[in-house]
Structure 1
Amino acid sequence: MTDTPQNRGTSQNADAPQNTDTPQSSSAQQTSDLTRLTAVELSAGLRAGDFSATEVTRAHLDRIEQVEGTVNAFITVTGDVALATAAEVDRKRAAGEDLHPFAGVPVTHKDLVVTSGITTTAGSKILADWVPPYDGTVYRRTKAAGLPLLGKTNLDEFAMGSSTEHSAFGNTTNPWDTTKVPGGSSGGAAASVAAFESPFSVGTDTGGSVRQPAAFTGTVGVKPTYGSVSRYGVIAMASSLDQVGPVARSVIDAAALHQILAGHDPHDSTSLPGEVPDFLAAAQQGASGGALEGVRLGVVKQLAGEGYEDGVSAAFRSALDLAAAQGAEIVEVDCPSLGYALDAYYLIMPSEVSSNLARYDGMRFGLRVEPEDGPVTAETVMAATRAAGFGAEVKRRIILGTYALSAGYYDAYYGSAQKVRTLVQRDFAAAFEQADVLVSPTAPTTAFGFGAEKSSDPMALYLGDVATIPANLAGIPGMSLPAGLSEGLPVGFQLLAPAHEDARLYRIGAGLESALDSARGHSLLAQAPEL
C-alpha cells in the first residue's frame, strides 16, 4: 500500500497553532497526557488496558497536526499506516494473542530507512518520489513488534550535515527554540521526540548524527556497536561508519527500541552474529540506584578542553561532580590520536560517499533529467540529473571523496586516514584499560541559529563533530544524554564504551540520568517551552 504524504517540506509559517492561555478541551488534554508518557509508560498502560493503541496513535497524530507547521520534523506522515497497525494490535490484544511488550507504541523512522510502499527520499530531490519495493530490516523489525509508524523524519540530504538545513524539504526547527537548529543529520528524529510528536525514533549515526541532535534537543541518542544493528535497507552514506540507533526521551526508552532493532541479519554482510544482550534490563538496573558506585569515568583529555563553550563545559563538569558524589571515580585518560580523528574522518567519509552515491545516475531509479542542449547520452543525462538532484553539501563531499581516491592521491590521503583510524582504535583500547566508560561533552556548543556563520561555513560545522566522530572510526558504542542547560538550551553528556559493551553503556547511562533527574527534580525535557 502506498501512503500518500500528508506533509512534505513544511516550514515555519504564520498560520501555525499559537500558544494561548485558554483551557484545553478534554480531547486536547487526553492527547497531551498520552504524548507526554514515555514509551515504557505507554507499554505498561497498553498492556493494563488503560488505553488502546488506536487512542495512543491518534493522540500522537493530533500532536503532529498541532505542531508540525512549526517544527517540520517529518517529510512524510503515515497516519493511515499507523492507525491500521494500531487497530490490528488492539484486535490481537482483545483476542488474547501474544504481543510484543511494546506493541502499540508508535515510532518514527529517519527517511533513510527504506519502507515498502512508502516514499523514501533521503531528504534529496533525486529521490523525492521514490517508492521502494522492499522494507529495510530495522523497519521490518518495528513492524513485527507492532509499533505503528507515524512517519518518516526529516534529515540533512543523504545524512550529510549537522543542522538539518541541507534537506530538500525545508529546515527542521529545535523545539526548545525554533530559531535554532535541532542538529543533524537526524534532526527530524530528535525534534519529533523532543516535541512530543513521537515516543521514540529510529535515526542513523555516521559521525554523531544521532548523538549531536540528541544533545541539541535534550533527548537521549545512542550509536550502537558497529554491526550490531542491521544496515540492510538503510540508504548508505559511508558504509564503514554508518550505524542505525535510537533516539528517545529516556535511557530506558532508548534501550527498549535498541532491543527491537538489534540482532544478526544475513542480508547485511557486516552484521555481527550472537545473542542480543538485554539492554532494557541493563538500563532498568542502572536506574534502580547504585549504578555509579565504583564506576571509573574516563575524561578524555582531547575531548574536554579548548574549543568548548563555557556553558557546555560548566554543565559537563557539574554532571561529573554529581557522578562523583554518587560514588564514581573520575580519571583523566589520554588518547593522542584523537587529535587527528576529525581529519581522518573527513577523508574516509567523503571517499565512501563518492562510491555509494555513484548509483544515482538518472538511469535506474529516482530523478531523471535530460540535458537542455546537446546529445542525450548516458554521460549527459547523468551530469544533468546529478546537477539538479544533489544539493551543495552532497556535491562538495562527492568531489572531495573522488579527489581523495584518485590516482596519485589514494595512499597520501585515504590510505593515511585509514592508518589514523587504526591508531584511534588502539588509543581507545588502551583507555578502556583505565576506565569503564569514557566521557566528554557531546558537542562543543549548544544549538546555533539558522543561517548563522556556523551554518554557512562547512569547516565550522565539521569541527562541531570533534567529540562524536572518534566512536564511529573505532566502531564502539556511544550515548548522549541531557546534562543540563546553558543559556536555556540543552547540553549533551557523551559516554563511550568498548565494542560489544552496549549494555554497560545503558546501565551507567541510566544511573547518571537518574541522578541528574533527581537533582533537578524532573527530566530535562520537562523544562522545554511549550510549542
Structure 2
Amino acid sequence: MTDDICWLTATELARGLRERELSAREVVAAHLDQIERVNPAVNAIVTLLPERALEQAAEADRLLAAGAPVGPLHGIPMAHKDTHDTAGIRTTYGSPVLRDNVPEADELIVERLRAAGVITLGKTNVPEFAAGSHTFNPLFGATRNPYRPDRSAGGSSGGAAAALACGLHPLADGSDMGGSLRNPASFNNVVGLRPAPGRVPSHPTTAAWSTMSVPGPLARTVADVALMMSVVAGPDDRSPIAISEPGAVFAEPLDRDLTGVRVAWAPDLGFPVDPVVRSTLEAQLKVFEGLGCVVEQARPDLTGADEVFRALRAWQFDLSLGGVLDRSRELLKPSLVDNIEQGRRLRGTDLARAEEQHAKLYHEMRRFFARYDVLALPVSQVPPFELELEYPGEIDGVPQHDYLEWMRSCYYISVTGSPALSVPGGFTPDGLPVGLQLVGRHRGEFGLLQIGHAFEQATGFGLRRPQVLDG
C-alpha cells in the first residue's frame, strides 16, 4: 500500500484526500517510509521533519473530518528546495556560511504552497548557493542520479528532481536561472517548467526587477505541474514584475487537438550536443507528426545570448552574494568566488551592451513565434555525466571551459524570457534519461503545458521507474 500511495500523482492524491478515500496521515507515513528506504541511496532530501509532518497530517485530517474548506493541495507532502526560505526550518543554501540558518519567514512560493495545504517534509539538496547544474556541496555531499547512481542528478534543483523520481514526494518547488528546473528534470526523467518572469513572483529578493531567476514547479507529470502552477502563479504586490493573470487559468483541462500546430525542431542552437542526445530526441519527432503537428527544422538566431547571460548572471551574483564574499570568502567554492568577482569587474558599458542585446533577443523570439507555435530542442547537451566531475570537460570532442558552458541549451532560452518546459524525451541505449525542451511564446505557459501533456501521453516515458528502486 505504501508503494502504491507513493506513485499516485499529486492530482490523484488531492482527489483521494478530498473524497476521504485516503487520510493525510497514511499519505505522509507512506512517503516517510519511502524516504527511509530510498533516500540513503540518492541523498535527495537533506533535512527531514517526520514528527512535524505527522502532526500537520493529523491536523489536515481533522479539518477534512470537520468539513472545513481546504486548499487544492491539502494534505500533500513536499520537501522544499534548500535555497527557498522556510520559517522555522533550517535553510542552508548548501553552504557552510549558512549551516545554522533558520529563517523567520517563508519565501513567497513556500507561503503559497502552505496556504494551499501542503505538508512540509523537509528540504532538498542543492549546489552551494544554487550555483551550477550539478548538485553537490560541502555540507551534505552529492545527490545521485536514481537511474544510475554513479551519475549526476543535475541541478540546482537536483535534490528535488531526484526525490520526485524516487517517489519521495509528488511535487517539488525549485528555481531556474540557467536551467535549474529544466536540467534536473531532464536528468531524472521528470517534468520541470521555467515560467515566464513574473508568472510565479519572487519575494524576498535583492533583484526584484530582474527577469533572470524564476521560481517554478517540478513534478512527475505535466498535469501535476499545471496543478502546482494553479497555486503558485498569480499577482502579488510584493513583486514589481508579477503578472496580473490569476493562477486559476492553470486549473483548466490540458487536453487539446494539436492538428496543425507548427513545431520547430532545433537539434542545437549553434553549440555542440552529444550525438546520443540528438538521436534520442530526433526519434521522437514522429510523435508530434502522429499528433497532427507540422514539424520543420528551424532555430531562432540567438547570437549574443551567451554574453547577455554571463553579464547579467555575474551582476546578479555580486548583488546577492557580494557581502557573503566579503565576510566569508574562505568558505565559498572557488567557482562561486570567481562568478561574484566577474560581476565586480563589469563596467557600465558591459551592462548597457548586455541589455541592448537582451532586447534584441526578445524581439527575435517574438518574430520566430509568429511562424511557429513551439520550439523543440534538447534540454541538456549531454546525458547525465559522472558524479565525481564538476562539469563535463567536453561535448562531442569540443572542450567545455567552465561549469556554465555545457548548459547553453537552457540558458540561451533563459535570456529570451520565453517559458520553457522539460518533459521526458526518451532514454539513451544504456538507460539514461534524456529530456525534451519545449519553448513557447511570451507568457504562453498554458499552451506549452498542453503540448507537453499531449507528448507525454503519447510516449509514456515518465512512467519508467529508476534503477535505484531495485535495491
Range class of TM-score, shorter chain: over 0.9
Change (3 A) 1:159 1:35: same
- Matched to 1:499, the amino acid is H
- Residue 184 (structure 2) pairs with residue 213 (structure 1): yes
Q: After TM superposition, list the pairs within 5 Å mapping 1:15-414 onto structure 2.
A: 30-166=1-137, 168-233=139-204, 239-283=210-254, 285-286=255-256, 290=257, 292-300=258-266, 302-303=268-269, 307-336=272-301, 338-360=302-324, 382=326, 385-404=327-346, 409-411=347-349, 413-414=350-351
* Cα distance between partner residues in 2 of 1:391 and 1:240: 26
CA distance in 2, matches of 1:340, 1:256: 35
Which structure is larger by alpha-carbon Rg, 1 or 2?
1
Residue deviations 1:260-312 (CA, integer Å, cap 9, x gap): 111111122222223335223243x24xxx3x221111224753x66112221
Offset, 1:167: 5.3
Q: Separation in 2 of the partners of 1:254 and 1:235? A: 27
Is 2:395 the partner of 1:429? no
Between the aligned partners of 2:132 and 2:335, the Cα distance in structure 1 is 8
Shift of 1:237: 11
Structure 1 counterpart of 2:408, from 466, 488, 496: 466
Equivalent in the alignment of 1:19 = none
- The answer as to whether partners of 1:238 and 1:350 remain within 8 angstroms in 2 is no
Residue type at the aligned position of 2:438: L
Which residue identity lines up with residue 345 of structure 1 in the other structure?
F
Whichever residue aligns with residue 496 of structure 1, its letter is V
Counterpart CA distance in 1 for 2:352 and 2:137 is 29
Alpha-carbon contact 2:229-2:247 (below 8 Å) kept: no
Q: Say whether the 8 Å CA contact 2:208–2:240 is kept in structure 1.
A: no
> How many residue pairs get matched?
464
Kept in 1: contact 2:425–2:434 (CA 8 A): yes
Per-residue CA deviation, residues 210-259 of structure 1 (Å, 9 max, x unaligned), is 00110011000001110111211468799431101111001001111111
Q: CA deviation at 1:455?
A: 5.0
Q: Aligned partner of 1:387: which letter?
A: R
Supply the distance in 1 between the matched residues of 2:67 and 2:276 (Cα, whole angstroms): 52
State the distance in 1 between where 2:390 and 2:23 align.
47
- Maintained 8 Å contact 1:119/1:130: yes
1:450 and 1:235 mapped to 2: Cα distance?
Answer: 32
Contact 2:377 2:438 in 1 (8 A): yes
Structure 1: stretches of 5+ with no match in the other structure: 1-29, 362-381
**8 Å contact kept, 1:252–1:280:** no
CA distance in 2: counterparts of 1:525 and 1:279, whole angstroms:
26
Structure 1 residues 167, 443: closer, same or farther in 2, change over 3 A? farther
Distance 2:391 2:251 in 1: 38
CA distance in 1 between counterparts of 2:213 and 2:134 reads 18
CA distance in 2, matches of 1:60, 1:453: 31
- Cα distance in 2, alignment partners of residues 308 and 358 from structure 1: 34
Asked if 1:491 corresponds to 2:434, the answer is: yes
SS across alignment from 1:432: helix
Whether the 8 Å CA contact 1:52–1:90 is kept in 2: the answer is: yes
Change in 2 beyond 3 A, CA 1:187/1:500:
same
Report the Cα offset of residue 465 of structure 1: 1.5
Q: Do the aligned partners of 1:122 and 1:235 also contact (CA within 8 Å) in 2?
A: no
Rounded Cα–Cα distance in structure 2 between residues aligned with 1:149 and 1:123: 19
**Which shifted more, 195-204 or 421-430?**
421-430
Structure 2 stretches lacking a partner, 5+ long: 395-399
TM-score (norm 2): 0.93
Structure 2 residue 464 is the aligned partner of structure 1 residue 525: yes
Q: Structure 1 98/508 Cα, relative in aligned 2: closer, same or farther at 3 Å?
A: same
Residue by residue over 1:359-381, the C-alpha shift from the partner in whole angstroms, topping out at 9 and shown as x without a partner, is 437xxxxxxxxxxxxxxxxxxxx
CA offsets, 1:310-358, max 9 Å, x none?
Answer: 221112112211111210111233422x243123211210111011113
C-alpha RMSD of matched pairs (Å): 2.1
Q: Does the 8 Å CA contact 2:72/2:117 hold for their aligned counterparts?
A: no
2:420 aligned to which of 475, 478, 481 = 478
SS in 1 for 2:407: coil
CA distance 1:440–1:456, change in 2 (3 Å): closer
Which SS does the other structure have where 1:493 is aligned?
strand
Runs of 4+ in 1 over 6 A off after TM superposition: 234-238
- Aligned partner of 2:436: which letter? F
Structure with the larger strand share: 2
**1:353 is matched by which residue type in structure 2?**
F
Q: Quote the offset at 1:49 in angstroms.
A: 2.1
Give the letter aligned to residue 200 of structure 1: L
Identity of aligned residues (%): 33
Deviations 1:397-426 (A, max 9, x none): 01111112xxxx431x33222222122111
CA contact (8 A) 2:134 2:391 kept: no
CA distance in 1, matches of 2:358, 2:385: 30
TM-score by length of 1: 0.83
- CA distance, structure 2, for counterparts of residue 238 and residue 151 of structure 1: 30
